[in-house]
Amino acid sequence: MPHATDDIIRAMQSPSSEDQKAIQIAYEFAKVAHGEEKRKSGEPYIIHPTAIAVTLAKLGMDRETIIAGILHDTVEDTPVTIEEIEEKFGATVRFLVEGVTKLSKLKYRGVERHVESLRRLLVATANDIRVIIIKLADRLHNMETITFVEPIEKRMRIALETKEVYVPIAERLGIGLIKSQLEDLAFKTLEPERYKKIHQFLEERGETEKEALDRALNDLRKALAEAGIRNFRTESRVKNVHSFATKLIRKGNDPDKVYDIFAIRIIVPTLEDCYRSFGVIHNIWRPIPGRIKDYIASPKPNGYRTLHTTIITPHKLIIEIQIRSEEMQQESKFGVMAHFIYKNKSQGSEPGKDSKIGWVGRFVPSLMKMTRAEKSLTQTSAPTPRWLTDLNTAAEEFEGEEAFKDALREDFFARRMFVFTPKGDVIDLPIGATPIDFAYAVHTNLVDLMSGAKVNGKMVGLDTELHKGDIVEIQTKKIGTPNKKWLDYTKTASARRYIRATLKKKENKS
Ligand code: MN
C-alpha cells in the first residue's frame, strides 16, 4: 500500500530530502497522536490532516506550514501539548499550530458586524498569513466531508460561515483555487435543489458542446503555432456552479446571455506574448463587442491580471478566451502566495528561515493595494468589509510600505484587542476600552439601557479597562439614558459621539 505521505510529497514543488524526512516524522507523530480517533465519516482521523497537507503542498506552502497542517488538530483533540510540538518541530510550527488552534475556538453567529469581526480577527490573529492558509485548507476538507455532519442545523451553520467568512477571505487573498471550491461546496449545502439543477445544466451543456469546444481548441492551437507563439499551453474550463448561478440571476435567468460558461485559457511565457496572442485570436474569430477586457493594464481589486475576450466560433459556440502569462496564472490560483513561491524558488532560500517576515511584508502591501483599488470602484455591490476599511485607514496614516508594515505590527494590531460576549461572539475594541465601548459595539441601544457590567463573571465599575480575551456581560434596565460621566470612561470616538448626541436630545426635550 502506498504511504499517505507520498501524496503530500508528490504535491510539493521539488521537496528536498530533509523536507521529505520532516514530513514523514510529522505524519507518524500525528497518526500516533490521533490513534483510534475517527472522522464523522468513520474513516481514521489522520485522513483529515493528510488532506490538508496535500492542499497546502499544492498551494506551494513551505515545509513548516505543511507540517503545521499535519499537526493542526493534535493540540485541540489529543493529549499532545504545544510545548511538545515546539520541542519536536521548532518554534515556527508551534506558532502556526497555536494560531490555528486559537482560531478554531471562534464561533459564527450570523450577525453582520460579527461576521466582519470574525474576518478581521482571522486576519489580525494571523500576524502570519500562513495561519489563515492552513485554516482555509482545513475548511476546504471539512466542507468536502460536510454531508457526514449531523444535525443539519450544524451543517448549515458551517456552510453559511464558509460562505460569509472564508470565501471572502480566499477571494481577497486572490486564491482562486480554494475560493471557487469553497463557494460551490457552501452553495451545494445551503441550496441543494438549486445547486443540483444548475450543476446538471452545466454538465449537459458541457456534454453537448464538447465537440465544438475541442474543435475550437484545435483551431486555436494551430493558429497560435503558425503565428510563431512558442511554449504556450491551453486549458478549458466550464464555469463553476455558484458563479454561474449568480450570473444567471443578473442576466434575467437567460443562460444564453451568460457568455462565459465555456472558457479557454491560454498561458504564454511573457507579457508580450499575451498581446500577440490576443491579435491572433481576433484574426481567426469574431469578437463580441464590449467583451474585451484588459485586466493586465487595469487589474481587478484582488490583483487578478488577464486579457479577456469573447468570441463566436463558426460552429456558433460562444467562448470566453482568457490570456495570461505563467506568472499571472500562478497569481490567479495562489493569490498573494504566488510571489512568495517565486521568491523562495528564485533565491533558493531555506524554507521558513525568514519567511514569516516575508509573509507579512508581502501580504500587507497587497491588502493595501486591494483596499485602495476597491475604494475607486464604483460598481462594487457589497460594501467594503470593515476590517479592510480599518486597514485602509491605517495604511493612509503612514507613508511607504515599510513604515506601514511596522505600524501594522507594532501599532495598529497592538492597539486593538478582541473580547467576547457570553455567547462567544467576537467584539474588537481599541486597547483601554471599557464596558461602555463594549456595549456600544454590541448594539447601540445597549448603551442607553446599561446599568452595570460583569467581566469574567465579576461585577466591575463602568470605568474598568477591559483586557484581551475578557468575557463581558452587560446588565440592563428597562428604560434609561447614558450618564454624562460616562463620556470620561469612553475610549472610542463613535461611542462618545453617540452618548453626547443622546444627552443633547434629552436636554432639548426637557
Ligand atoms: Mn481540522
Cα(149) to ligand 1 centroid in Å equals 14
Peptide bond into 151 cis (omega under 30): yes
Contact assessment for residue 414 and residue 399, using Cβ atoms and an 8 Å cutoff: no
Structure confidence at residue 170 (pLDDT): 82
Q: Which of 77, 83, 226, 354 is catalytic?
A: 77
Q: Which residues contact 344 (CB under 8 A, 6 or more apart)?
A: 62, 351, 355
pLDDT of residue 399: 35
- What's the mean pLDDT in 261-269? 94
Q: Distance between CA atoms of 396 and 496, rounded to whole angstroms?
A: 24
Give one DSSP letter per residue of 439-451, joined into a string. Answer: HHHH-HHHHHHEE
Residue 96 CA, ligand 1 centroid: distance in Å: 13
354: annotated active-site residue: no
What's the CA gap between 74 and 497, in Å, rounded? 47
Backbone dihedral region of 42: left (phi > 0), alpha (psi from -120 to 50 degrees) or beta? left
CB 132 within 8 A of CB 123: yes
Contacts of residue 447, defined as CB under 8 A and 6 or more positions apart, other chains included, come to: 436, 439, 440, 482, 486, 495, 498, 499, 502
Cα of 244 vs centre of ligand 1, distance in Å, is 30
- Provide, rounded to the nearest whole percent, the portion of the chain with pLDDT above 70: 77
Q: Which phi and psi (to 5°) does residue 169 adopt?
A: -65, -45
Decide: helix, strand or coil at residue 267.
Answer: strand
Q: How far is CA 91 from CA 65, 87, 98, 128, 311, in A?
A: 12, 8, 10, 13, 53
The confidence score (pLDDT) of residue 309 equals 94
Pairwise CA distance, residues 285 & 223, whole Å: 11
**Cα–Cα distance between 119 and 164 in angstroms, integer?**
9
Q: Which carries the bigger pLDDT value, residue 82 or residue 349?
A: 82
The candidate with the shortest Cα–Cα distance to 334, out of 61, 52, 17, is 61
Ligand 1 centre distance from Cα of residue 49 (Å): 7
Q: Give the up-direction half-sphere exposure of residue 8: CA atoms within 13 A in the CB hemisphere.
A: 30
141 alpha carbon – ligand 1 mean position (Å):
8
pLDDT band of 363, cuts 50, 70, 90:
very low
Q: Where are the alpha helices (DSSP H) in 321-397?
A: 326-334, 337-347, 355-376, 386-397
Maximal CA-CA distance, the chain: 86
Contact partners, residue 222, CB within 8 Å, separation at least 6: none
Please tell me the distance between residue 59's alpha carbon and the centre of ligand 1 in angstroms: 18
Neighbour tally for 490: CB within 10 Å = 23
* 417 and 466 Cβ atoms separated by less than 8 Å: yes
Residue 175 clears pLDDT 90, i.e. is over it: no
Q: Per-residue pLDDT for 322 more than 60?
A: yes
- How far does residue 277's CA lie from ligand 1's centre (Å)? 44
Crossing angle of helices 337-347 and 355-376, in 10° steps, is 140
pLDDT of residue 397: 35
304 pLDDT band, cuts 50/70/90, is confident
Is 294 part of the annotated catalytic residue set?
no
Q: What is the dihedral of CA 14, 17, 22, 28, to 10 degrees?
A: 100
Q: Please give the model's pTM, rounded to 2 decimal places.
A: 0.66
Mean pLDDT of 83-91: 96
Q: What phi, psi does 467 have (nearest 5°)?
A: -125, 155
Fold for 432-509, please state it: Ubiquitin-like (UB roll) (3.10.20)
pLDDT on residue 89: 97
Is pLDDT at 176 greater than 90 in this prediction? no
- The predicted pLDDT at position 191 comes to 96
CATH topology of domain 196-336: Beta Polymerase; domain 2 (3.30.460)
Ligand 1 centroid from CA 352, angstroms: 22
Domain ranges of the chain: 6-189, 196-336, 432-509
Question: Residue 369 pLDDT > 60, yes or no?
Answer: no
72 CA distance to ligand 1 centroid (A)? 6
Q: What's the 459 CA to ligand 1 centre distance in angstroms?
A: 37
pLDDT of residue 396: 38
Distance between Cα 63 and ligand 1 center (Å):
18
Q: What is the pLDDT of residues 266-277, one digit of tens each?
A: 999 999 999 999
Res 345 pLDDT > 80: no
Nearest alpha-carbon partner for 130 in 331, 356, 321: 356
pLDDT (tens digit per residue) in 111-137: 455 555 565 556 555 556 788 889 999
Give the torsion through C-alpha atoms of 18, 80, 165, 253, to 10 deg. Answer: 70
Residue tagged 458541457 (cell numbers) = 206
What single-letter DSSP state applies at residue 164? Answer: I
Q: Give pLDDT tens digits for 67-83.
A: 999 999 999 889 999 99
- Measured in Å, residue 355 CA sits from the centre of ligand 1 at 24
Gap from CA of 342 to ligand 1 centroid (Å)? 28
The arithmetic mean of pLDDT across residues 175-191, rounded, is 93
Architecture label for domain 6-189: Orthogonal Bundle (1.10)
Q: How many whole angstroms from 137 Cα to the centroid of ligand 1?
A: 9
Q: If you average pLDDT over residues 342-349, what whole number do you get?
A: 40
CA separation for the pair 102, 131 (Å, rounded):
10
Bridge-based pairing state of the strands 450-455 and 262-268: unpaired
What value does the mean pLDDT of the chain take?
80
Q: How far is the CA of 361 from the centre of ligand 1 (A)?
A: 27
Residue 126 CA to ligand 1 centre (angstroms): 17
- CB atoms under 10 Å from CB of 265, counted, come to 17
Gap from CA of 166 to ligand 1 centroid (Å): 14
Could you read off the pLDDT of 184-195 as tens digits, one per residue?
999 999 999 999
Q: Is the model's pLDDT at 8 over the cut of 50?
A: yes
| d(CA 408, ligand 1 centre) in Å | 29
The pLDDT of 306-313, averaged and rounded, is 94
Q: How many whole angstroms separate alpha carbon 16 and alpha carbon 344?
A: 13
**Is residue 440 scored above 70 in pLDDT?**
yes
The DSSP string of 30-55 is HHHHHTT-B-TTSSBTTHHHHHHHHH
What confidence score (pLDDT) does residue 118 get? 60
Q: What is the pLDDT of residues 378-433, one digit of tens each?
A: 222 333 333 333 333 333 333 344 443 443 333 334 566 777 777 666 677 888 89
Number of Cβ within a 10 Å radius of residue 465: 14
Taking the C-alpha atoms of residue 295 and residue 356, their distance in angstroms, rounded to an integer, is: 30
Q: How far is CA 368 from the centre of its chain?
A: 15
Rounded CA-CA distance 429/493 in Å is: 11
Secondary element (H or E) of residue 459: strand 458-460
> What number is the average pLDDT over the span 97-105?
80
Q: Give the residue-averaged pLDDT of 460-469.
A: 89
For 229-254, what is the mean pLDDT? Answer: 91
* Highest mean pLDDT pick, 125-134, 162-171, 267-276, 327-336: 267-276
Cell (9 digits) for 249: 440571476
**Catalytic option among 76, 211, 402, 463:** 76
